[in-house]
Structure 1
């Protein structure tokens, strides 16, 4: 369906017929164009790539009312996320948290396919991008999949008879696929595709297909789209390790890529989580992981770090040890780069696992031993000696490369193929209106990708003319069924797989005899849902149980079903037929249980409760408060103002700027001084921003419409709908290594002040990394310290090329493009000397102007350096956030930063709805990352301000006749949604605050509190139905 966009303020709209074919089960036949000031501007966005970055960008844009076309070159959307059963550091899935809702619902791939404003275009590529920002024309090539999406019922008969095999795209040689295959288990669209590179056109699949869904003569097609802006979210290309012949990939069967091993440890993979050698199927007893394959290697044109390999290897080691606790694991690495806030703790736990060794080394080759096909790894150890060791299996941690084909977009690319951007506008490409996000911009992990997607959505949305609007009503009201007699009906959308594996007559008899329900069989056609609704209306059915076969109801279908009465969608195909295929009796019995449970719940639900559920809402105050006026706070405030919202920017200091006010030196990044001047001027001149200097948050109250924020001093009260916390951080203090007692011991920030104010001529300088970081005091990596040390070392070398600079380090964490600076520093003669927590450098004073730094080093023995200056990299710690966190009812993490709602998938949201974080309040970040976080947090806050607050079915309700005013529910409610009405002597519910957790119903001694649509009688009837079947 096409989104309905407002006409206010435009000279149109003009409507034109569109030749763009519909995708994802929808057809959009109207192209909406708006004219602004004589120029034509499209009201649509193209997102290229449907992985995590693309789907998150599309969902956020679609939630604002924008129409989004989501194009992906693969046969199904989802990117590589569906290959990951577990993600670090939570070791869980959590992908549902990507949804832009107050709480997670479904997998984002399903939501992208179901969303009324998102049109998915799988198996297609952008061929050309013409026009200009606001009025782009996109040429799209639709590749033939040789299977009609609307006809395929996923019966798998085609694959069963196909005689040809192809290598599996991500399980490699572990599990070959047929030439006709389903891309992956949870693929959207859920349709098979034929790889014509392997198909012989024998026609066997055509013969057995029961729905005539296969067409071997299908041809490529092209189409054109008109869009206002483009977001490149094309992900990454994994490095092909066959290009590094010394590691034996593609030659030795027991050498796997990290992605192939990911599937091996997955329960949904070809070995179902068993660690088996591909060569002989024997259990793996000893496995080696080799880092940096296709990363940090200038010799092959990949002189950057892929940023994520260290952590996904740690996760795979952890999973492998879970599968087999006796497994011996060795990890060969150069530097460990745990750049996420909690990654250091995760990787340390893995390192301390019995049977796991991390070996700092350089691997020279992998050789196969015959006849047992073991693998011999030859490497240079930390002491410089040559070693070799045999393993059953070797896993290559392959790096990320830039996506192919970006040159077609007419944007400038760097030498590695990534789009060129500016540090202060990291998502803008060289072409106006074209933005880049996620791993297509630079290798990054999932949390950074999620943040990046929100920032890209902000930029892309700025080119759309219409204001934010809700794309659909939050909740459909059921009809008033208080006095209506229940008329249950089971609507069975049949297909060959269901009809052949189930006794349909037995099911028909069961639902009628046990529940008085009628049974309606429908054919699986493209208009099956419309026919179902028409049939239900004609028969007067007001309690519906729907068995959809392989068809997934879209949001529009759910809305239509809700107008008929309470309904349940029962996945019999997935929960009865698939696990019990071949046993018709057991599958039928399981189907009876599922149908019985659904009918019992519908028949015993209190109609009176259902009648109270409505689409009433509390629109929040369309105003935001931003706490903190540093780089993050000012950027967030300006971003909200650009989106049209009033902002109160609260800063405890007398001048805005935060850390930007400190004297800094610049090599090739953002200039803090210039940035500070620009931001302050823009903030002070913006009519939508009120700047409160010398003020702090004194008190916060919440109700269904938002927050009442009281400031001190002065007591000014601000009503707002959303709050962004940008409280910043500070340089961590230390007393280690004579800091504070010797004048020649400085921190990196103090060195920058010195470089800014003068031209120091120190002859010999030492730097020590991770001072008070990655230890028990601050058990996290501060992310920026190694970059700052390398940058300052290069600046010192520029000022004095004869200077000797020595950097003592545990790991050099110059991830992504920053690796190139590390390479440049080594080329300039900067010496890097490793140390460990067990063997730290020692520092002695040699008078007022000299220090002695010593270390026992594995290769050089005792190192003693007499230096003129010692510089400490002390890391970042959070501001004093405890008081503010208590006032807002949010949590801090173990380090004192604000604790995100979900570390992986919701890094900008807190557990309190409507409260967001960005910048150093969330954790250590570079300035360009802070800008992206601020943009993303502002966009999410703006989206929150526009969302309707519908009453969910799960909120609590009170039977006043049973309430004894004991106040237990008030004390137990974690969201302060329960309060006492002392006049009536009953406990009441603030429906705007209730989150439906059910704790109050659990503690109520009289049963006065119940959860809407979860009545006790209904739930017990469901249990009885399950046990009876």
Structure 2
């Protein structure tokens, strides 16, 4: 059967976009089928994202634009799947493209039709809180920026047709059914929010000041109904007391969904924080059961919300809400932890609604032939978490299970990896190379500068007087054109920038908006499409450096914005085109670490035909998984581990080095050289490997407790010890009463993070104990039970089997006393008061910590950072969760942060996909901003060689001057600052350019 080098992605949310970009950059034609009129999904509706409080649209918009203009991605909007034929490698898919009644090829996105339309319609994007016109675009930054007509509302007045200068309105446009031929399919239809209306006790839909969390996101958003002001719907007043109610539609077996929706605890904390930032009068209170802050840096965010913003948490589930008819306030009744009934009045209530599977889940399963689980999410397996039951069809994002943005992005890349493995033999068979216009020669031309200043909704415009900044920019030297944009990173503004460059003959471009860290490549690509060299571009970061830091000082924020624009203009007058070096791509891969993550990643590369080197410092493969017998779902870990090790050893493209450590790493993406040293034989000859990609899968370690008499009394064990007792039938029959204590070595001053897996391990082993010995008693002492997602059902199962769960406070942890030969736990619980528990066995749920020493050694070799907790730090927590800022180096598994086996497998596969965007190419481009040596000034002192962290500088022993390898150079500028003879300049940041910038600061 002939395989097809194309993939269909169903769903244009962040997961679908990530899958599409990975595959398009890896050599495949990609179709994205989106049932609405624009891509972006729920993430486009959010105001900010946790835990960084990044503007959601700010970080999403570059992805949207990239997908929209990628030559190998075709967006099929307003489309529904009709039929599937074929098999893995070669599918035929029938898709119904519903009529927009506006020709998408002609529509310019000008919006005149919407402005002139007299017919009112509901704005679904704004959660029905405002009125839209019948001629509309999904949202201001929508990709593609194409308007459509709601024919159900259209009265046929003809106004939109009359005002459309592009003649794009087509009232009699018909639906069209097309057939596409693809080799694989990725399901990313996302989720639907739980509708709280049927839960009448909360008054949603009855009381105007009770809103859902997604509605509150739109209230917070600059493009929302109140332009970012926190106002209550009934009267437009600022609500001083806002109550957030957790678990609405989640963890409720009687009235809603029994599973945990995974994201609600964190997005609620974020909404409370952002509300406080937007209006300092707002005082949020969050009603919760457990605080499930299980992700990387999530606990720190909760602590920050409480300590810095004064967010109040109350552990209680609200029993009823009534409205005060006099002022439209909400009266909440709830039971406190000591059992007393409390009634309190709030100005506004936000219901933190859960995640449901998409409404068309059953329909999709019937068309494609894959199975759904008991909740109508897509059925997957622990060891193949991105594969459906149908070969060739993969799944990602919240359709697999409730999950947040980084986990969705990880699984999106993981799904793309499976498509890569399936179709690698036909890679690059259907792709189109992007063609750019000839680069305009600006040599000898006087600077003609264009300045584009971004409102970013209220993100910038709420604190900076943007029109005043634009007016000021017009007065600066050689500025020929200046304008302001609502969202400069949106697709329509990119088109405007290109048009402005051509119309005004601009040869330098400045964007005053947010951070170049996330947006500079987007704008550089835009001006290249206009024929300019991408380095004839400057950014003034007036968001991070002005509006954010001077949020309460608008005059100062505006003045500083003018300063930054003036400095950027001064530099832009001197910037020159730079060239990127073309480098050969070595297609070999080095994977460091032989646990499940490393093995999964290594096999993912090897199965695509890439020669892969797997380095493991111990004598055995398997890592931490060697100690785990089963997952919480009941899957046999040892059997799976045995199979994957066998597959690795039998793959001819995979070479394994055991008892081996990394000695040195030199080079750069596409051209690394690594020296290995054998731990078994220190005198053996060292191996030197050449490769283009590095994967860090070095794993984590179990915390070794010093508390609770561990190692001093054999009756005190860890969960790993206890699991072995259960599965190897080693539990002493005299043991009848068992106590588990959670959060040992986690969520404390030394390790302030949650170790993510400990609660699931405790629940799993408790269930196993009850299955083997129903008569034995077991008590779990916890701070929060974090069985997030679909794991919640096992928590319920444990309780139904008689496992007792008792909460303790962080400041009053359980105390262990040895009375003679007996062990006694003393506990002061906030729920039941002081109790003493006699026990036969104490099980400590210990956390995971990084291998501190080896990480500290490896990180400098790789030129990658560690976070405060000494786990490896990814490039971006949301959108680049497995990439490092250093190109060509990736991270997965416990090296990144604590995570379960299925999550580690997903992350390992994600690494395979992200690395394949390099490995699919024979050549890659290096960065143009690199150091340059003026050999006439170089004295050959070599100080720069010692300074360079990237080993990019070497001495020419014959000429006694230094040479810089542009492939290795990262443009950090350390060598420039250390050069006593001023012989080194950083291209794009030369001494002359920087002096101009500094001299403009007044």
1:793-812 maps to which residues of 2 (within 5 A)? 793-812=766-785
Helix, strand or coil at the partner of 2:868: coil
The answer to whether the 8 Å contact 2:122/2:132 transfers is: yes
Helix, strand or coil at the partner of 1:41: coil
Query: Which of residues 810, 828, 849 in structure 2 aligns to 1:877?
Result: 849
1:679-701 deviation line (CA, Å, top 9, x unaligned)? 22112211111111111112222
Helix, strand or coil at the partner of 2:655: strand
Paired position in structure 2 for 1:578: none
Query: Which of residues 601, 610, 615 in structure 2 aligns to 1:636?
Result: 601
1:159-178 maps to which residues of 2 (within 5 A)? 159-172=114-127, 174-178=129-133
Query: Which of residues 125, 137, 143 in structure 2 aligns to 1:182?
Result: 137
- 1:401/1:234 CA distance change after superposition, 3 Å: same
1:757-906 maps to which residues of 2 (within 5 A)? 757-758=728-729, 760=731, 761=733, 762-848=735-821, 850-880=822-852, 881-906=855-880
Helix, strand or coil at the partner of 1:618: strand
How far the C-alpha of 1:516 sits from its partner, in A, is: 12
- 1:977/1:93 CA distance change after superposition, 3 Å: farther
How far the C-alpha of 1:768 sits from its partner, in A, is: 1.4
The answer to whether the 8 Å contact 1:709/1:720 transfers is: no
- 1:566/1:170 CA distance change after superposition, 3 Å: closer
For residues 1022 and 774 of structure 1, the distance between their equivalents in structure 2, rounded to whole angstroms, comes to: 45
For residues 725 and 971 of structure 2, the distance between their equivalents in structure 1, rounded to whole angstroms, comes to: 57
For residues 831 and 784 of structure 1, the distance between their equivalents in structure 2, rounded to whole angstroms, comes to: 19
Helix, strand or coil at the partner of 1:466: helix
1:442-491 deviation line (CA, Å, top 9, x unaligned)? 11111211211111001112232536559677997967969x87599999
Paired position in structure 2 for 1:736: 707
How far the C-alpha of 1:983 sits from its partner, in A, is: 3.8
Paired position in structure 2 for 1:626: 591
- 1:196/1:660 CA distance change after superposition, 3 Å: same
- 1:198/1:836 CA distance change after superposition, 3 Å: farther
1:472-491 maps to which residues of 2 (within 5 A)? none
What is the TM-score with the length of structure 1 in the denominator? 0.82
1:358-369 maps to which residues of 2 (within 5 A)? 358-369=313-324
For residues 480 and 747 of structure 2, the distance between their equivalents in structure 1, rounded to whole angstroms, comes to: 66
Q: Does 1:961 align with 2:927?
A: no
How far the C-alpha of 1:557 sits from its partner, in A, is: 8.9
- 1:281/1:643 CA distance change after superposition, 3 Å: same
Paired position in structure 1 for 2:724: 753
Helix, strand or coil at the partner of 2:260: coil
1:375-454 maps to which residues of 2 (within 5 A)? 375-405=330-360, 406-407=364-365, 408-454=367-413
The answer to whether the 8 Å contact 1:545/1:569 transfers is: yes
Unpaired segments of 5 or more residues in structure 1? 1-38, 99-105, 493-506, 518-525, 576-592
For residues 355 and 933 of structure 2, the distance between their equivalents in structure 1, rounded to whole angstroms, comes to: 55
What is the TM-score with the length of structure 2 in the denominator? 0.84
How far the C-alpha of 1:981 sits from its partner, in A, is: 3.4
The answer to whether the 8 Å contact 1:136/1:228 transfers is: yes
Query: Which of residues 889, 892, 900 in structure 2 aligns to 1:915?
Result: 889
Paired position in structure 2 for 1:59: 21
The answer to whether the 8 Å contact 1:94/1:905 transfers is: no
Paired position in structure 2 for 1:43: 5
For residues 90 and 400 of structure 1, the distance between their equivalents in structure 2, rounded to whole angstroms, comes to: 22
Query: Which of residues 948, 951, 955 in structure 2 aligns to 1:976?
Result: 951
- 1:485/1:392 CA distance change after superposition, 3 Å: closer
- 1:983/1:570 CA distance change after superposition, 3 Å: closer
- 1:717/1:806 CA distance change after superposition, 3 Å: same
Q: Does 1:74 align with 2:47?
A: no
- 1:480/1:799 CA distance change after superposition, 3 Å: closer
How far the C-alpha of 1:747 sits from its partner, in A, is: 1.3
The answer to whether the 8 Å contact 2:47/2:220 transfers is: no
Helix, strand or coil at the partner of 1:463: helix
How far the C-alpha of 1:896 sits from its partner, in A, is: 2.3
Query: Which of 961-970 and 460-469 deviates more?
Result: 961-970
The answer to whether the 8 Å contact 1:766/1:869 transfers is: yes
The answer to whether the 8 Å contact 2:447/2:478 transfers is: no
- 1:205/1:432 CA distance change after superposition, 3 Å: same
Paired position in structure 1 for 2:552: none
For residues 840 and 598 of structure 1, the distance between their equivalents in structure 2, rounded to whole angstroms, comes to: 55
How far the C-alpha of 1:402 sits from its partner, in A, is: 0.9
For residues 559 and 82 of structure 1, the distance between their equivalents in structure 2, rounded to whole angstroms, comes to: 27
For residues 986 and 263 of structure 1, the distance between their equivalents in structure 2, rounded to whole angstroms, comes to: 59
For residues 617 and 66 of structure 1, the distance between their equivalents in structure 2, rounded to whole angstroms, comes to: 22
How far the C-alpha of 1:164 sits from its partner, in A, is: 3.2
| Superposition CA RMSD, Å | 3.9
The answer to whether the 8 Å contact 1:171/1:259 transfers is: no
For residues 79 and 50 of structure 2, the distance between their equivalents in structure 1, rounded to whole angstroms, comes to: 31
Paired position in structure 2 for 1:23: none
Query: Which of 432-441 and 974-983 deviates more?
Result: 974-983
For residues 437 and 37 of structure 2, the distance between their equivalents in structure 1, rounded to whole angstroms, comes to: 37
Q: Does 1:927 align with 2:904?
A: no
Paired position in structure 2 for 1:679: 644
The count of corresponding residues between Structure 1 and Structure 2 is 920
Paired position in structure 2 for 1:943: 917
The answer to whether the 8 Å contact 1:617/1:951 transfers is: yes
Paired position in structure 1 for 2:692: 721
For residues 718 and 534 of structure 2, the distance between their equivalents in structure 1, rounded to whole angstroms, comes to: 65
Paired position in structure 2 for 1:253: 208
How far the C-alpha of 1:209 sits from its partner, in A, is: 2.6
- 1:972/1:217 CA distance change after superposition, 3 Å: farther
Paired position in structure 2 for 1:14: none
Query: Which of 1009-1018 and 331-340 deviates more?
Result: 1009-1018
For residues 600 and 43 of structure 1, the distance between their equivalents in structure 2, rounded to whole angstroms, comes to: 48
- 1:1015/1:303 CA distance change after superposition, 3 Å: same
The answer to whether the 8 Å contact 2:424/2:608 transfers is: no
Paired position in structure 2 for 1:275: 230
1:1006-1028 deviation line (CA, Å, top 9, x unaligned)? 6644444666778999999999x
For residues 171 and 775 of structure 1, the distance between their equivalents in structure 2, rounded to whole angstroms, comes to: 41
- 1:431/1:479 CA distance change after superposition, 3 Å: closer
For residues 269 and 1002 of structure 1, the distance between their equivalents in structure 2, rounded to whole angstroms, comes to: 46
For residues 231 and 567 of structure 1, the distance between their equivalents in structure 2, rounded to whole angstroms, comes to: 36
